[in-house]
Structure formats: structure tokens, C-alpha cells
Amino acid sequence: MGGGIFGLATAWECARRGARVRVIERDRIGAGSSGGLVGALAPHVPENWNEKKNFQLDSLLMAEGFWAEVRERSGIDPGYARLGRLQPLADTGAVAQAKRRAESARTLWRGAADWRVERGEDDWRGQSPTGLWIHDSLSARLHPRQAAAALAAAIRETGGEVIEMRGRLDRPVEPAGKVLWATGAQGLADLSTDLCRPVGTGVKGQAALLACAAETQPQLFVDGLHIVPHGDGTVAVGSTSERAWQDDSATDDQLDGLIDRARAACPMLTDASVIDRWAGIRPRASTRAPLLGAWPGREGHYVANGGFKIGFGMAPRVAEVMADLILEGRDAIPAGFRLR
């Protein structure tokens, strides 16, 4: 249940293992937060290591093979490319901290990627206050809408069903067999009601897409702002985090300010036209980690929710552990992710 990234990725993983799969989406594929624009697959900093960061690392390292198989099976390019990420260093303290993290990354990232401090200035990255930048080679990009479409097509190619209700709730399709609930912010609300305690909520985000050919550039992370070049001649910038709002899908002056900040940070965007504006509600679990596992008190029902800003980056590993649990009864979900 749910045609966002967690639902689609898990359905695909189950289908490729030979399971009969049906995805039921109450609206359309990617109608919620998975239909956004940004697509930044970026790691947490390599320090204060914990199970969440290790799980995310596993997922980011799985991503290239995962999305290559989806692309091959579906014939649709999900827009994946591991081109790294640049972050400016504001002062000498930030430089010293970044160098310490470079040392820890050598161990924590298992030699699979690096975190380094480098000097540079060009039309893409603009200026750093110190002239120095963090450059990590683990970060990757993905085009959210293309990725969702590719997963849906791959599922269908294996013989699975993907049903888009498009609001036709007067003719509901009832789930059968084992059921995974990956229904985003509304799913968190439903789960909170069922368990009589808050497990998460929605947070609104706004993002924009600009016309700018920068497909070979690394993504930028500047003062909390993601600037992500896609392979189709566009650059996504995002996003806001809003706890209060009037309209789920409306964009406003908060997005205008975000676009101005992106243009100030990246010279190549100075005259780039805005070609799309997006707003949506992202599911944020109270634990700040994804909620995975069996739905308490509902035999044969499972939950994968709470991806918030890292859902696409977490998806390959989430799909793997949920398929293990649903199909094989094997529970490899980290303790901090468990739905209790």
C-alpha cells in the first residue's frame, strides 16, 4: 500500500525474488513526497557512528547496482549518478573539524569512498569563505520522479501489478496476502491513531527546478541548502522544512528566498530560469529514523515509513530488510528503526 519510494522499492525487491506483488496507490505514483525534485543521496558526517549511519552507508553503497538493475529492467533512466558533493568551509574551526572527519572516514566508510578537504573556485561552486571545501565521493544524485516511474515499470515487467487509484476511492482495491503499509505522512497519522501514541508527523517542504546544464558537476550543500544537478539539463534546489502551513501543495515566498540563496551560492544559476516549483508533505518519524517492521497487533501487516529527507538514499537497504522480513521471516532491522 503506497506508491512512494519505500513501497515501490520494497515491491521491486520482493518481485525480483520471485514474489507475486501488487502495489496499490490511492492517487498516482510519486504523488506524495517521492514526487519531489531534489534527489540528493548524501551521507551523514563520518563521526559519532551509530546504526543509522551504518545502515545509510550500506544503502548508499548498494545504490549503483540497485538502480542499474531497475534501469535495465524498466528501460527508464532513474537519473542515478555518483558524482560526489561539495560543501564550503566557513572558518578555521570548520576546516580543522573537516580534516578530523577525513581521517575517520577512512575507517568508517571502509575505503569505499573518501571525505577530503580541497581548495577550489569555479563557476559552479562559487566562493568559500576560507577558499576550502569538503569534497566527499559518496554522495550521489537521483531524479525522484524518473526513479519512481522506473520502479513502477520494473515491477510491471516482472509480472507485478501497479494500481493507481487517482482519487477513485469509491472503488477501493482491497489488499490481500501480506501487506506493507508505506503510505507516507497519512500513514504516520493512521499508525499514531491505531497505537494511541504519536509515532511521527508530516513536515512540508518546497523545492524548485532551474534550467541549467551542469550534469557532470557534484552536488552542492551550502548553509543547509541542497543544489543538485540532474542529467537532463536541470538543477534542483531545496528545500524548506515547515511545521505549520495552510496548503499542502502551495509554494510561496519561502521558496522564492530559497531560489535567491541558491543563485547567490552558485554563479551558474544566476540567470537560470525556474521551470518547476514543488511543495509536498514529507513523513518524519518521531525517532528521526525510518520506522520499519511488523504492525503491532495486525498479523501479516508491516510498515515502512518515515523516510523524511533521506528516503531515496535509504531505499535499497530498506527494501532488502523488509523483503527479508516479509518473505523469509528474517529480521535484520536495526533496533533504532523498529516499530514497537
Q: How does the average pLDDT of the chain come out, rounded?
A: 95
In this structure, what C-alpha cell is assigned to residue 331? 529480521
> Is the CB of residue 236 less than 8 Å from the CB of residue 41?
no
pLDDT in tens, 225-256: 999 999 999 999 999 999 999 999 999 999 99
Domains identified in the chain and CATH numbers: 5-337 (3.50.50.60)
Given a cut of 90, whether residue 176 has pLDDT beyond it is no
Given a cut of 90, whether residue 37 has pLDDT beyond it is yes
Given a cut of 90, whether residue 213 has pLDDT beyond it is yes
SS3 (DSSP) at 205: strand
- For residue 235, what pLDDT is reported? 98
pLDDT in tens, 44-74: 999 999 999 999 999 999 999 999 999 999 9
Q: What is the 3-state secondary structure (H, E, C) of 37-66?
A: CCCEECCCCCCCCCHHHHHHHHHHHHHHHH
154 class by beta-carbon count within 10 Å (0-12 exposed, 13-18 middle, 19+ buried): buried
- 45-80 burial: b if 16+ Cβ within 10 Å, else e: bbeeeeebbebbbbbbbebeebbeebbebbebbbbb
Nearest to 304 by CA among 187, 165, 143: 187
Q: What is the 3-state secondary structure (H, E, C) of 17-37?
A: CCCCCEEEECCCCCCCHHHCC
Cα 260 to Cα 266: distance, rounded to the nearest angstrom:
10
pLDDT in tens, 87-146: 999 999 999 999 999 999 999 999 999 999 999 889 999 999 999 999 999 999 999 999
Assign 166 a pLDDT band (cuts: 50, 70, 90): confident
- For residue 261, what pLDDT is reported? 96
Distances, alpha carbon 43 to alpha carbons 54, 91, 139, 227, 246, in Å: 10, 22, 6, 15, 32
Distances, alpha carbon 306 to alpha carbons 4, 58, 203, 297, in Å: 11, 18, 11, 20
Given a cut of 80, whether residue 171 has pLDDT beyond it is no
State the DSSP H helix or E strand holding residue 88, giving kind and residue range, or none if neither.
Answer: strand 85-88
> Is the CB of residue 130 less than 8 Å from the CB of residue 87?
no
Q: How far is CA 180 from the centre of its chain?
A: 19
Cα 230 to Cα 216: distance, rounded to the nearest angstrom:
9
Phi-psi region of 46 (alpha: psi -120 to 50; beta: other; left: phi over 0): beta
User: First-to-last CA distance in the chain?
Assistant: 20
SS3 (DSSP) at 288: coil
Pairing of strands 225-229, 115-119: unpaired
Q: How far is CA 269 from the centre of its chain?
A: 23
